[in-house]
A = this chain, B = another copy of it.
Amino acid sequence: MLREIVRTIEAKQSFLITSHVRLDGDAIGSEVALYRLLTRLGKRVAIFNEDEIPENFLFLMDNVEIYHNIPQISDYNVLFVIDCSDLERVGKNASALKKIETIINIDHHLSNGRFATVSYLDPEASSTGELIFRLIKEMGIPLRKEEAEGLYTAILTDTGGFRYRNTSKDTLLVAAALVDSGADPQWLSENIYENNAVVKVLLHAKALETLNLALDGKVAYVTVSKDTMEALGAKTQHIDGLVDIVRTIKGVQVAVLFLELDRNFYKLSFRSKGGVDVEKVARELGGGGHLNAAACEVKGEIAWIRDRVFSSLKEIL
């Protein structure tokens, strides 16, 4: 498959790159690396993302042509769909994008709709960044610093800083190769993880004071009310990372965040340790995710929601 993608890159002139809504480091880092690669090969390239780039990834975006409204589709021969198991994850313009003649999908998610002309899929890879690395290797050209920085960002964030289950020997070997090509682990980590708004730190502090344990200490949870969010002037993005802190408690197998979006309407985020499958619990409640990280939205009174969550969790613990 990689060979076929390389041939397409060689043969075609204009490329549009896209990824899923609610952008993460793997989507953005992989997009940017591919953008830089195609640009230096003299191709015409642009990125289209329905959502804005989160602030902590903006440092990667210098001189990148990016659209948040869909550009003129007829300008492009090839569409790269990155880190998406399904074209619909691109957002509300997915069907317009289908008109591009050649669609290449590169992805590491388990379920994949195989919607593309060519697909390069590997659910064993840590991240889509790891797959773009393989693509550049396959082309037989040396990686440049700017590409290495995008790919390191992709791998670093999708492995939770080399901590999650998807951190394999190969993942670390690729990271080493990226450092060799100029990616600076300290500089990248500081940009990505040490650019928090003051309000985020204060929100985490406030939220952690609501910490409670359930099911003999195997579950820890925090609750963030709409009032707290409003009093601090916090946005939803400032919640990021909170539930990961809750998971760091000894003996806790599942951490849960109950975030009040509106009256009797909550977003629930789950994190688990080891082999505990919280995706199952989130799916029962209409959500989804991965084995160790999942989320859903539930309507109802908080006491009723909690009871329902704890009885689901009881069955898997």
Interface residues, chain A, with chain B CB atoms under 8 Å away: 161-165, 167-170, 172-173, 175-177, 179-180, 185-187, 189-190, 193-198, 201-202, 204-209, 211, 213, 220, 245-250, 252, 273-274
**B residues near A190, Cβ cutoff 8 Å:** 163, 273-274
User: A162-B185, A173-B173, A194-B248 in contact; A205/B202 too (CB < 8 A)?
Assistant: no
Instruction: Choose among B161, B170, B198, B205 the residue that contacts A163 (Cβ–Cβ < 8 A).
Output: B161
Cβ of A245 and Cβ of B169 under 8 Å apart? no
Q: A195-B248, A195-B250 are in contact. List 13 more A-B contacts (CB 8 A).
A: A164-B185, A167-B185, A167-B186, A168-B179, A169-B177, A172-B179, A176-B176, A190-B273, A201-B245, A201-B246, A201-B249, A205-B205, A205-B206
Q: Which of B164, B176, B186, B248 contacts A186 (CB 8 A)?
A: B164
A193: chain B residues within 8 A (beta carbon)? 163, 248
Q: Which residues from chain B contact A176 at a C-beta distance below 8 Å?
A: 169-170, 172-173, 176
Least CB distance, A81 to chain B, in whole angstroms: 29
Is the Cβ of B211 less than 8 Å from the Cβ of A208? Answer: no
Task: List B contacts of A209 (CB < 8 A).
Answer: 202, 205-206
Q: State whether B179 touches A163 (Cβ < 8 A).
A: no
CB distance A163 to B180 under 8 Å?
A: no
Chain B contacts for A161, CB-based, 8 A: 161-163
Could you tell me the distance between the alpha carbons of A170 and B165 in the complex, rounded to whole angstroms? Answer: 22
Instruction: Considering the complex, give the chain B residue whose CB is closest to the CB of A244.
Output: B194
B173 with A169: CB separation less than 8 A = no
Tell me the smallest distance from the CB of A125 to a CB of chain B, in Å. Answer: 15
Question: For the complex, what is the distance from the CA of A207 to the CA of B206, rounded to whole Å?
Answer: 11
What 4 pairs across the A-B complex have the smallest Cβ distances? A205-B208, A172-B176, A163-B189, A167-B185
Distance (Å) between the CB of A48 and the closest chain B CB?
A: 28
Whether A186 pairs with B165 at a CB distance below 8 angstroms is yes
Contacts of A208 in B (CB 8 A): 201-202, 204-205
Closest to A183 in B: B169
Q: Residues of B contacting A274 with CB < 8 Å? A: 186-187, 190
> Within the complex, what minimum Cβ distance (angstroms) separates A8 from chain B?
31
* Min CB gap A163→B, angstroms: 4
Q: Nearest chain-B residue to A189 (Cβ)?
A: B163
- For residue A3, give the distance in angstroms from its CB to the closest CB of chain B: 26
In the complex, the chain B residue whose C-beta lies closest to that of A177 is B169
Residues of B within 8 A of A213 (CB): 198
Instruction: Verify B163–A186 contact, CB threshold 8 A.
Output: yes
CB distance from A191 to the nearest CB of B (A): 10
Q: Which chain B positions have C-beta within 8 A of A186?
A: 163-165, 167, 274
List of B residues within 8 angstroms of A180 by Cβ: 169
Closest-CB distance, A159 to chain B (whole angstroms): 8
A17 CB to closest chain B CB (Å) equals 27
Tell me the minimal C-beta distance from A204 to chain B in angstroms: 7
